[in-house]
Structure 1
Amino acid sequence: MRLEILPVLGIGDVAEGDDLAELIAGAAPWLRDGDVLVVTSKIVSKAEGRLVDVPAEEGPARLAARDEVLAAETVRTVAARGATRIVQTHHGFVMAAAGIDASNVDASKLVLLPKDPDASARALRAALRRRHGADVAVIVSDTMGRPWRNGLTDVALGVAGMSAIRDHRGEVDPYGNELSITQMAVVDELAGAGELIKGKCDQVPVAVVRGYLTAPTSDDDTGARSLIRDAAQDLFSLGTAEARTAGLLAAATLADTALAGGAAEVTEEALTRAVAAVRPSIAEATRFTPVTDAAAVAQLGTLLDGWPATATAAVHCRLADDAEGTPADAAALIRFGADVHRLRAALAAQGLSTTLLFGPDGSALATLAV
């Protein structure tokens, strides 16, 4: 395979209502079938009128207006550090400031992402094919940062005429190993390749990658939406501080009658780990005793009201008397309750849900059914 990356020169500034297909075809009459057009999302947004007015002068009014626009473009905040906001947009993209841009535009405007980048890519591709006879693939690209790595790179927000992902699963490598997880985000790689000659200050908003495709696909597949990871599979859906805050809130609001039988396997080792985790933070008189013997657990089910049928283990919680045998006072009982809750939070952190069952009224005794 031999690839060429060609700049499309002479497009100039783009304004609302401009016909991108005409501008691109006029600047690149040399387009061929099978070319991949990498189009900066900013000119798509400008042509589609995705601009908002803000005060031109730097100051509180401009910041307030920008914050209002950011809030409107945000579904949820993923991470925030100072003035920086990493958010999820309505499209599903996770990026800084929802992709809102103030560069290469009049100071009184902000540029938003295209409302539907896949639809924008399809429309541009169809116009070029219908009016100019060029059967090309189109990638709408934008610049993003990346977790764990410094520096920015261009990625695909929308695509038409090719699949976003090259799926190698089921193929066999030269050593005879079947590939099981390899899926390459080829449109992101092509977007990054196009950025090598577009630049940020050169006013070259379109690049052509030639040689990758022999011909575009006849349909538009699922577009760049297929690159957005499903929330259930996202292991890093929050920033560190935000995940910690969410965990603390979840621990603070654990119900006394949480469903027993968590997602994780209930083992003596898991119970012991949870007890060890809270040991430095609990009162000296607080005692936790894991119970995993099947017969003992079954007996608890006959003795304690409210015992959940799915429970397979337990932790006895009690407050030891002092050396003189004096019963615990109110303050000690309150601290004991806090210690029991700490243990429940530690068990929940391991995926183990618990039901809190109390001993006789007034006694410092409780049992966690796990």
Structure 2
Amino acid sequence: MTPSLSLHALPGVPLVEPGDDIAVLILAALAASELVLEVGDVLVLAQKIVSKAEGRYAYLNVVEPSAQAVELAGQCDKDSRHMQIVLNESREIIRKRPGVVIVEHVLGYVHANAGIDRSNINSDDDNPRLLLLPENPDRSAAELRSALLASTGVGVNIIINDSAGRAWRNGTVGFAIATAGFEALENRVGEADLYGRPLEVTEVAVADELAAAASFMMGQGDEALPLVLIRGAKLRPSAAGSASLIRDREKDMFR
């Protein structure tokens, strides 16, 4: 049989509020689309709905910027309170220019503005707020997988995705900030190529490839499609999460 992969962007997901049960919202969206989970399915969730459900908001009016944040704001043409929140969520500033600061997030990702933004976020102009990444995305993914298994009896794979630029290409692309249920990075070293030669360095970031495909379906504007069901992916089971996707600093040639 010819390999195939199908992606279904699920409409009708409501605007998520702190405390909402993501598993319940997923099951309702699946039912509305007349879809039933199957073993091996992958559910890809936009980071924003997970962060919103977890109440990961920061309010600018209660932030007291440090001297470092004030200096960084001047260099990047940003609000100093925003820069303080970025600093709070970061291990290190890697690059900066007007409009953007590239940091190593406390979770290990190299990310613009620590993954913090205002897009698709309802905010009061008198007390503006920003949305942070989930505190522990892999834990969030694992808990969601367990909740869906308890509700349906079906073990599915979970990806939480976000968008980021890349050091060597223009434009943003979806990538996985969390996984549950499968091997996020497949090591194929030692396997044979078409001519029987062993692969020497090949590792496949399957979670990022699926995250990018789902991101294309979700869109980046007002599409309101934060949930994608992927069917047909052949994945290796694993409970390890997504840490293997983050390159060790000593091997990162772009720092």
Provide the TM-score with structure 2 as the length reference: 0.86
Q: Distance in 1 between matches of 2:171 and 2:98?
A: 19
Question: CA offset at residue 134 of structure 1?
Answer: 2.8
Q: Does 1:3 align with 2:5?
A: yes
Q: Which residue of 2 aligns with 1:38?
A: 44
Give the alignment's Cα RMSD to 1 decimal.
1.7
Q: Distance in 2 between matches of 1:109 and 1:80?
A: 23
Q: Which residue of 2 aligns with 1:209?
A: 230
SS of match in other structure, 2:178: strand
Q: Distance in 2 between matches of 1:173 and 1:71?
A: 45
Say which structure, 1 or 2, has more relative contact order (CA 8 Å, 6+ apart). Answer: 2
Question: CA offset at residue 25 of structure 1?
Answer: 0.8
Q: Which residue of 1 aligns with 2:200?
A: 180
Question: CA offset at residue 117 of structure 1?
Answer: 0.9
Question: CA offset at residue 111 of structure 1?
Answer: 0.5
Q: Which residue of 2 aligns with 1:132?
A: 152
Identity, in percent, stands at 39
Q: Distance in 2 between matches of 1:5 and 1:22?
A: 21
Q: Which residue of 2 aligns with 1:232?
A: 250
Q: Which residue of 2 aligns with 1:77?
A: 93
SS of match in other structure, 1:71: helix
Question: CA offset at residue 132 of structure 1?
Answer: 2.4
SS of match in other structure, 2:182: coil
- Of residues 35-44 and 168-177 in structure 1, the stretch that sits farther from structure 2 once superposed is 168-177
Q: Given that residues 143 and 152 in structure 1 are in contact (C-alpha distance below 8 angstroms), is that contact kept between their aligned partners in structure 2?
A: yes
Question: CA offset at residue 39 of structure 1?
Answer: 0.5
SS of match in other structure, 1:28: helix
Q: Which residue of 2 aligns with 1:199?
A: 219
Deviations 1:120-169 (A, max 9, x none): 11011110011222311000000000011001000000000111112211
Q: Distance in 2 between matches of 1:236 and 1:116?
A: 26
Q: Which residue of 2 aligns with 1:47?
A: 53
SS of match in other structure, 1:22: helix
Question: CA offset at residue 10 of structure 1?
Answer: 1.0
Q: Which residue of 2 aligns with 1:353?
A: none
Deviations 1:40-80 (A, max 9, x none): 0110001111111125xxxx9x8122111111011101111
Q: Distance in 2 between matches of 1:110 and 1:159?
A: 24
**Which of 24, 27, 30 is the matching residue for 2:26?**
24
Question: CA offset at residue 202 of structure 1?
Answer: 0.6
The one-letter amino acid of 1:235's match is M
Q: Which residue of 1 aligns with 2:239?
A: 220
Q: Given that residues 167 and 254 in structure 2 are in contact (C-alpha distance below 8 angstroms), is that contact kept between their aligned partners in structure 1?
A: no
Question: CA offset at residue 234 of structure 1?
Answer: 1.7
1:326-365 maps to which residues of 2 (within 5 A)?
Answer: none
Q: Distance in 1 between matches of 2:11 and 2:41?
A: 16
The one-letter amino acid of 2:60's match is V
Q: Distance in 2 between matches of 1:228 and 1:174?
A: 29
* Contiguous gaps of at least 5 residues in structure 2: 62-73
The one-letter amino acid of 1:70's match is V
Moved over 6 A (4+): none
Q: Distance in 2 between matches of 1:152 and 1:67?
A: 22
The one-letter amino acid of 1:12's match is P
Q: Distance in 1 between matches of 2:99 and 2:119?
A: 18
**Which of 137, 143, 147 is the matching residue for 1:123?**
143
SS of match in other structure, 1:140: strand
SS of match in other structure, 2:253: coil
* Contiguous gaps of at least 5 residues in structure 1: 238-370
Provide the TM-score with structure 1 as the length reference: 0.60
Q: Distance in 2 between matches of 1:76 and 1:47?
A: 27
SS of match in other structure, 2:79: helix
Q: Which residue of 2 aligns with 1:153?
A: 173
The one-letter amino acid of 1:225's match is A
Q: Given that residues 25 and 132 in structure 1 are in contact (C-alpha distance below 8 angstroms), is that contact kept between their aligned partners in structure 2?
A: no
Q: Distance in 2 between matches of 1:6 and 1:126?
A: 22
SS of match in other structure, 1:161: strand
